[in-house]
Chain A
Amino acid sequence: MSTARGGAPRSAAPYLFLTPAIVLFTLFLALPIGYTVYLSLRRTKVSGLGLGRGSRREIFVGLDNLRVAVADGELWAGALRVLGYGTLVLVVMLGLALLFALILDSAYVRLARFGRISIFLPYAVPGVVASLLWGFLYLPSLTPIGGIDFLGASAVTYSMANIAVWGGTGFNMLVLYTNLRAIPRSYYEAARMDGASEVAIALRIKIPMLVPAIILTTVFSVIATIQVFTEPTTLRPLSNTISSTWSPLMKVYRDAFVTGDLYSAAATSLVIAGVSLVLSFGFLRVVRGHAFEEER
């Protein structure tokens, strides 16, 4: 690039500027990931009763843990449960978020500010608190709605999805709404002059222009859903219907902290990370062509 004036100090400068980022990345991302990979390759080996000093040592087992993790039926059964739960949450939550954003953005709404805040507010409630709150509302003797066993085997997935939708809609709505406000108003005026109704403007102008934001909220929601943990873990003590491996992340938690097997937990984490990566980038790859083609 700059061979004419080229000198050593110049080529060092970019790295200097990058140093803070590289240090932070190494400390808080690369090292933990590296440690997880390292743990996943090891296991403790006990000899005899395992009680005295030195009867327990760490050994290298290669890809054994990973192989066991991938072959574990409970992990994939959990993934299937989360897939059902996630589809429900994604469709309802993003649908509602889009609907609310469009309504708040339309010219006719009164109290838009109040509406925006009240829809966003549940997002500010920590997940554990929200789950406990809803958990109490679900308990048969405390619920205001009788006749349904919210924590029973058939309803428990919907009950958990409801908590996630309640907590997540506001945030996604806000992202979509902010993007809507950035669309130049002149487009709408032109459409109105052409005789387009509010609904037609929403469908033909607003939603198409929102596509990038919708894709983003979808990707982040997919990642959040794969990592579902708080709701089932908090509701578990209240019900007989949620097992300790209901979601993949719960299985990781159980392996690491309940049954004391950090090595299997590390291996399962790697599998989950791999699946999340494939899903989110796969989704982006599929939709990117459709969404951004016309801009090029």
Chain B
Amino acid sequence: MRTRLAVAALAVTLAAGCGGSTTPETPAASGAPSSEQPAAGPVTLTYWTWAPNMDKIAEVWNQAHPDIKVTVSKQAGGDDAAAKFLTAAKAGNAPDLVQAEYQHLPSFVAAEAVADLAAETAAVKAEYSPGLWGLVTLGTESVYAIPQDSGPMMLYYRKDLFEKYGISVPTTWEEYAEAARKVHKANPKVYLGSFSSKDPGWFAGLAQQAGAQWWSIAGDAWKVGINDAATTKVADFWGGLVNEGVIDDQPYFTPEWNKALNDGTQLSWPSAVWGPGVLESNAPKGKGKWAIAPLPQWNAGESFSGFWGGSSTAVSANSKNKAAAVAFATWLNSDPAALDLLVKEAFVYPAATKGQAALGDPPAYFAESQPDFWQQASAIGATARGFTFGPNVGVTYNAYKDGFDKAIQNKSAFGAAVQSMQDATVSDMQKSGFTLAQ
């Protein structure tokens, strides 16, 4: 019997070693090493990005610059990518270049993971609007990245179905609420839109539109105002509609939501300028049926928008080839030929002002329904306002997901979720020792 026990133990151990199905798979486990450049010969740079076709764009650079070879390592986007970069930086094997979303850049700076490029980028500063430039300087004398793209928000809507249900494009959020009720009443399976508890960036953009300032720097102290009046107003507005049952509570980018967009049971989506790519792949049946309009406003006659997403190119603090990395990042985000490639190959809405001129033909998806897509988009983009992001956005965004999940489940007030974001953010900053203004 004892031997049998031992045999069983051995079998179990061996099999478990071969592939335990419960082993956690951390995305940080596969960091690409960057510290293997030879001292002489061509410089090689690794670049973490999730923009499509970036390898093709890097190839154009490589052809023209045999002495600096850029290798693109394709990443999954989103918050995981930021976590992965921070972990790699801590472990000392970060890539030379990294795509950094504006909201994560302060965390990168606080972790001393990105280099200060102030000296090298003075020449290209004029290429970008002051608002975007502020997102990469964080209001300091330093420059931590070069802006690549921006994501001004607008309302995507199904033109044909808006006509079918007899609703006009809402110009205020009040009209939006009315339209939501009307549509859902006409067909209980159909919703005007959905509130996503998984997309804090989306909610941040809507809060920006309402005039929120989640973080600000006052002298030598941070001020955290996530629970300000503007943000609470936005949360309560959506909470009212969700609890009333006239707006869906499906998270975005799930198969369920894709299906609703595709089969026309969801009629609109407040999203950013990068929306066409999502619609094209997730709702192919809607081609030629979607149009865009400015976001509904809080007060009639105003015109404001916010930003959802948008990213920059940062250089690792411990890159051995900083000069070469900055040269590539500058070329990529300010050279006319590169901007043209960014627009055509990577489908980004370039941050460089002159790059926006490269936007000619509308995305194929909108060719019929919104031929002036880019003109509309840049008019809306000019009305977008942002805010400074803090050094612990990861904590805030995680609190958003947990807080709003809970509010949706319990059908409780959304304002409480905003308060939980504020509390989590402040207590994390206090724990770390940041100076906070009262």
* Residues on A with beta carbons closer than 8 Å to the beta carbon of B432: 44-46, 50
Docked pose: A251 CA to B352 CA in angstroms: 40
CA distance A64 to B345 in the complex (A): 51
Q: How far is the CA of A261 from the CA of B8 in the complex (A)?
A: 40
- Interface size, B (range): 35 or more
The proximity string for A residues 245-261 relative to B, scoring 1 for CB distances below 8 Å and 0 otherwise, is: 10001000110111111
Stretch among A1-9, A105-113, A223-231 lining the B interface: A223-231
Q: B124 an interface residue at 8 Å Cβ cutoff?
A: no
Q: Is B343 an interface residue (CB 8 A)?
A: no
Q: Are B79 and A229 in contact (CB under 8 A)?
A: no
Q: Residue A51 contacts which of B5, B11, B140, B409 (CB distance < 8 angstroms)?
A: B140
| In contact, A216 and B9 (Cβ under 8 angstroms) | yes
Instruction: Please indicate the chain A residues that have their CB under 8 angstroms from the CB of B408 in the complex.
Output: 240
A158 interfacial contact with B, CB 8 Å: no
Q: Is the CB of B256 within 8 A of A142?
A: yes
CA distance A123 to B198 in the complex (A): 31
Q: Residue of B at shortest CB range from A142?
A: B255
CB distance B434 to A49 under 8 Å? yes
The reply on B395 being an interface residue by CB < 8 A is yes
Asked if A260 contacts B112 (CB within 8 A), the reply is: no
Task: Find out whether the CB atom of B391 lies under 8 angstroms from the CB atom of A50.
Answer: yes
Q: Which chain A residue shows the least CB distance to B1?
A: A295
Give the residues from 263 to 282 in chain B that come closer than 8 angstroms, CB to CB, to chain A. Answer: none
Given A49-B221, A182-B7, A244-B398, verify A220-B12 contact (CB < 8 Å).
yes
**Dominant SS at the B interface?**
helix
Q: Determine how close the nearest CB of chain A comes to the CB of B282; give it in whole angstroms.
A: 14
Residues of chain A within 8 A (CB-CB) of B8 are 175, 178-179, 212-213, 216
Tell whether B289 is near chain A: CB-to-CB under 8 Å.
no
Q: Which residue of A lies closest to B110 (CB)?
A: A50
The minimal Cβ–Cβ distance linking B315 to chain A, given in whole angstroms, is 15
Q: How many Å lie between the Cα of A197 and that of B12 in the bound state? A: 31
Q: What are the interface flags for B96-114 relative to A under an 8 Å C-beta threshold, 1 for contact and 0 otherwise?
A: 0000000000110111100
A213 to chain B, nearest CB (A): 4
B394 contacts A by Cβ under 8 Å:
yes
B111 to chain A, nearest CB (A): 7
- Closest Cβ of chain B to A41, distance in Å, is 16
Residues in B neighbouring A228, C-beta threshold 8 A: 22
B110 to A237, Cβ gap below 8 A? no
A217 an interface residue at 8 Å Cβ cutoff? yes
Given A237-B198, A257-B26, do A139 and B256 touch, yes or no (CB 8 Å)?
A: yes
With the chains together, A217 CA to B408 CA distance in Å?
39
Min C-beta distance of B245 to chain A, whole Å: 15
A171-185 contact mask (Cβ, 8 Å, vs B): 1 or 0: 100010011001000
A48 within 8 A of B: yes
A158 and B408 CA atoms in complex are apart in Å by 21
Residues from chain A with a CB closer than 8 A to the CB of B164 are: none
A216 to B10, CA, bound (A): 10
Q: Is B36 an interface residue (CB 8 A)?
A: no
Is A237 in contact with B254, judged by CB distance below 8 angstroms? yes
Chain A 187-231 interface 0/1 with B at a Cβ cutoff of 8 Å (1 = within): 000000000000000000000010011001100100011011110
Query: For the complex, is B406 an interface residue (Cβ under 8 Å from A)?
Result: yes
**Which one of A182, A256, A259 contacts B395 once the chains associate, using CB atoms below 8 Å?**
A259
Contact assessment for B251 and A240 in the assembled complex, using a CB-CB cutoff below 8 Å = yes
Contact of B12 among A168, A217, A245 (CB under 8 A): A217
CB distance from A134 to the nearest CB of B (A): 13
The residue of chain B having its C-beta at the shortest distance from the C-beta of A130 within the complex is: B21
Q: Is A140 in the interface zone, CB < 8 Å from B?
A: yes
User: Does B435 count as interface, using CB distance less than 8 angstroms?
Assistant: yes
B303 to chain A, nearest CB (A): 33
- A49-B217, A49-B435, A213-B5 as given contacts; A243 in contact with B405, CB under 8 Å: yes
Given known A-B contacts A51-B110, A182-B7, A259 and B391 have beta carbons under 8 A apart: no
Q: Binary interface profile of A, 132-150, with partner B (CB < 8 Å = 1, else 0)?
A: 0000100111100000000
Assembled-state Cα–Cα distance A130/B432 (Å): 39
Complexed CA–CA distance, A46 and B24 (Å): 31
Stretch of B83-91, B174-182, B355-363, B373-381 lying at the A interface:
B83-91
Q: Which of A259-290 contact B (CB under 8 A)?
A: 259-262
- Which B residues, 1 to 47, have Cβ-Cβ distances below 8 Å to chain A? 1-2, 4-5, 7-9, 11-12, 15-16, 19-28
B220 interface residue, CB < 8 Å from A?
yes
Whether the pair A140, B221 counts as a contact (CB closer than 8 A) is: no
- Which residues from A are CB-within-8-Å of B398? 244, 254, 258-259
Most central of B21, B80, B197, B198 by chain A CB within 10 Å: B21
Q: Does B149 contact A (CB under 8 A)?
A: no
Tell whether, in the assembled complex, residue A238 and residue B409 are in contact, meaning their CB atoms are under 8 Å apart: no
A216–B11 CA distance with the chains assembled, in angstroms: 10
Complex: chain B residue closest to A294, CB-CB? B1
Task: Offer 30 A-B interface pairs, CB within 8 angstroms, sorted by A.
Answer: A45-B432, A46-B432, A48-B221, A49-B221, A49-B222, A56-B111, A56-B112, A128-B25, A130-B21, A139-B254, A139-B255, A139-B256, A141-B260, A171-B15, A182-B4, A209-B1, A212-B5, A220-B12, A227-B24, A230-B25, A233-B24, A237-B251, A259-B398, A260-B83, A260-B86, A260-B107, A260-B111, A260-B392, A295-B1, A295-B2
Q: A47-B433, A240-B249 are in contact. List 19 more A-B contacts (CB 8 A).
A: A49-B221, A50-B110, A50-B432, A51-B106, A51-B110, A52-B140, A128-B25, A139-B256, A140-B256, A142-B256, A171-B15, A228-B22, A230-B23, A238-B251, A238-B255, A238-B256, A257-B28, A260-B395, A262-B90
